[in-house]
């Protein structure tokens, strides 16, 4: 059972009072309790079961424009006394930074809305084991499957964020996650793929049979891949890869990258960077959303932002420190995005596949090939060759490359958006990318 709000609030209040006593002009404190239980299976046998109960505190103290931070997992008052005194002493010896400050008081959240993020259900370990036994059994049906790994995790957490401006709020959240990783083999190759499900509420996760079937089908269809030559071709990104491209966009509009001048989008606010069909939203108030929240990591209220409207970049993701550098007020994005998504496109998934005589469908990328300074993109990839809208054969050992400035302008989206993660995208096609093959 996670610690209740009253306990966490008392610890936070104790720390703020101490910081003021030791000479801090301002302070902020976060107190977090997280309980996690995980069961792992390998090849139909129980491999590991573990439980963690973590209690941690992080404190930042300010003396005018000086700031330092300290953290600990020991919340006994005698330890906090020493910890905060040391933090304030360190702050006194820290160089001033004119951009250090707490958020403007009028930007702080006034309430914590109920987004239905907490499920008090406890899924006992024997039930986790039963789920994984079913998952492993269904995942092993085909004789081509030679190895299976699966996992079930349950996490519950509660936290309080408080500062010396009178802000003191928090909320509980939970998550239930299951995954299946499968290795299949035939006379020509050995391939690996996966599927997972993660929700705030236990009843919303995929059942074991459905999860296993998706993971097995995705793995088996990758067997006996072929090599292709180098060419310029349209690339279709599976939704789980497309969301990675969206995450790179989010990194490029983070105010930390903009203020340092290390983003290819640093001078693009209010300019057209996508085709006019593209709209991007960050929506923190979705019920049961994996990224939903009433305030960010500094306590600033979060509202829905349309980051891109008809291809035009409307907002950066702004926190207090970098907002001060840029002379922009925080928009509640300290810690990043909430529920980020590309709005549905205008055509169906089937029509997207049929939009070119031939194209490549990418299901996995290899390596970290996104450079947000230059916008260059180059990754290894595997997937399928598509001809006249049909999946012809699997492909591997290719490299796909482009630059995000061009990729964003040449992006076409299907209308098959699903909210499976905290960052989501419909199936995405980018025309005219460079493929290096055999």
pLDDT digits (tens, 9 = 90+) for 266-297: 999 999 999 999 999 999 999 999 999 999 99
Q: Please, are residues 430 and 237 in contact by the beta-carbon 8 Å criterion?
A: yes
Tokens at 74, concatenated:
């020991």
Across the range 340-359, mean pLDDT stands at: 96
| SS3 of the chain: helix, strand, coil, percent, to 5 | 25, 40, 40
pLDDT score at 163: 97
Assign 369 a pLDDT band (cuts: 50, 70, 90): confident
pLDDT value at 308 more than 90? yes
pLDDT value at 401 more than 80? yes
Q: d(Cα 370, Cα 282) in Å, to the nearest integer?
A: 21
pLDDT value at 76 more than 90? yes
Assign 399 a pLDDT band (cuts: 50, 70, 90): very high
Across the range 48-63, mean pLDDT stands at: 96
Q: Which of 61-65, 174-178, 194-198, 368-372 comes out lowest in average pLDDT? A: 368-372
pLDDT value at 438 more than 80? no
pLDDT value at 252 more than 80? yes
pLDDT score at 368: 83
What's this model's pTM, rounded to 2 decimal places? 0.95
pLDDT score at 437: 81
Q: d(Cα 413, Cα 40) in Å, to the nearest integer?
A: 37
Q: Please, are residues 211 and 204 in contact by the beta-carbon 8 Å criterion?
A: no
Q: Please, are residues 328 and 318 in contact by the beta-carbon 8 Å criterion?
A: yes
pLDDT for 197-215, tens place per residue? 999 999 999 999 999 999 9
Q: Is 270 left (phi over 0), alpha (psi -120 to 50) or beta?
A: left
Question: Three-state SS for 277?
Answer: coil
Q: d(Cα 280, Cα 157) in Å, to the nearest integer?
A: 29
Residue tagged 């953290």 (tokens): 71
Whole-angstrom CA distances from 261 to 85, 265, 283, 335, 378 are 36, 9, 27, 19, 22
Give the Cα-Cα-Cα angle 219, 225, 230 (nearest 5 degrees): 130
Question: Three-state SS for 116?
Answer: coil
Assign 225 a pLDDT band (cuts: 50, 70, 90): very high
pLDDT score at 66: 97
Q: Which helix (H) or strand (E) holds 399?
A: strand 390-403
Residue tagged 């500062």 (tokens): 163
CATH number of 5-220: 3.30.2290.10
pLDDT score at 79: 94
Q: d(Cα 372, Cα 376) in Å, to the nearest integer?
A: 7
Whole-angstrom CA distances from 100 to 96, 169, 323, 437 are 8, 22, 10, 50
Q: Please, are residues 427 and 413 in contact by the beta-carbon 8 Å criterion?
A: yes
Tokens at 155, concatenated:
């996490």
- What percentage of residues in the chain have a pLDDT greater than 90? 97
Assign 148 a pLDDT band (cuts: 50, 70, 90): very high
Q: Which residues contact 293 (CB under 8 A, 6 or more apart)?
A: 115, 284, 302, 338
Tokens at 30, concatenated:
């976060």
Q: d(Cα 185, Cα 147) in Å, to the nearest integer?
A: 9
Q: d(Cα 120, Cα 235) in Å, to the nearest integer?
A: 43
pLDDT score at 34: 97
Assign 367 a pLDDT band (cuts: 50, 70, 90): confident
Q: Which residues contact 27 (CB under 8 A, 6 or more apart)?
A: 15, 16, 19, 20, 59, 60, 61, 62, 163, 164
From the list 357, 338, 345, the residue with the least C-alpha distance to 421 is 338
From the list 95, 112, 105, the residue with the least C-alpha distance to 26 is 105
Across the range 174-178, mean pLDDT stands at: 98
Q: Give the count of beta carbons closer than 10 Å to the beta carbon of residue 208.
A: 23
Domain locations along the chain: 5-220, 231-436
pLDDT value at 101 more than 90? yes
């Amino acid at each position: 059972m996670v610690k209740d709000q009253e306990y966490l609030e008392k610890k936070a209040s104790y720390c703020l009072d101490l910081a003021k006593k030791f000479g801090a002009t301002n302070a902020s404190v976060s107190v977090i309790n997280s309980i996690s239980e995980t069961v792992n299976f390998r090849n139909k046998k129980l491999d590991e079961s573990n439980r963690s109960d973590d209690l941690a505190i992080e404190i930042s103290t300010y003396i005018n424009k000086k700031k330092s931070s300290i953290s600990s997992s020991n919340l006994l008052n005698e330890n906090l006394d020493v910890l905060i005194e040391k933090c304030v002493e360190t702050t006194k010896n820290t160089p001033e930074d004119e951009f250090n400050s707490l958020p403007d008081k009028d930007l702080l959240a006034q309430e914590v809305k109920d987004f239905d993020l907490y499920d008090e259900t406890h899924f006992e370990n024997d039930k986790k084991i039963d789920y994984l036994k079913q998952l492993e059994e269904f995942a092993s049906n085909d004789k081509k499957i030679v190895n299976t790994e699966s996992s079930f995790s349950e996490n519950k957490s509660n936290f309080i964020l408080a500062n010396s401006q009178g802000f003191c709020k928090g909320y509980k959240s939970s998550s239930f996650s299951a995954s299946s990783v499968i290795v299949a083999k035939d006379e020509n190759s050995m391939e690996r793929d996966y599927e997972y499900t993660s929700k705030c509420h236990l009843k919303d996760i995929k059942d074991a049979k459905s999860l296993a079937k998706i993971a097995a089908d995705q793995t088996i269809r990758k067997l006996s891949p072929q090599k292709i030559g180098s060419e310029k071709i349209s690339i279709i990104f599976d939704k789980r890869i497309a969301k990675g491209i969206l995450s790179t966009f989010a990194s490029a509009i983070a105010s930390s990258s903009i203020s340092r001048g290390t983003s290819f989008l640093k001078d693009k606010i209010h300019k057209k960077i996508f085709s006019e069909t593209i709209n991007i939203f960050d929506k923190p108030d979705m019920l049961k959303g994996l990224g939903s929240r009433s305030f960010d990591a500094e306590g600033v209220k979060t509202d829905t932002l349309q980051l891109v409207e008809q291809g035009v970049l409307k907002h950066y993701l702004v926190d207090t420190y970098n907002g001060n550098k840029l002379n922009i007020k925080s928009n509640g994005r300290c810690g990043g995005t909430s529920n980020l998504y590309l709005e549905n496109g205008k055509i169906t998934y089937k029509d997207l596949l049929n939009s070119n005589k031939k194209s490549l469908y990418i299901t996995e990328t290899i390596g970290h090939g996104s450079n947000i300074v230059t916008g260059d993109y180059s990754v290894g990839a595997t997937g399928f060759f598509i001809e006249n809208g049909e999946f012809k054969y699997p492909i591997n050992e290719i490299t796909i490359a482009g630059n995000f400035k061009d990729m964003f302008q040449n992006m076409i989206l299907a209308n098959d958006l699903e909210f499976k993660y905290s960052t989501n995208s419909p199936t995405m096609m980018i025309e005219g990318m460079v493929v290096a093959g055999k």
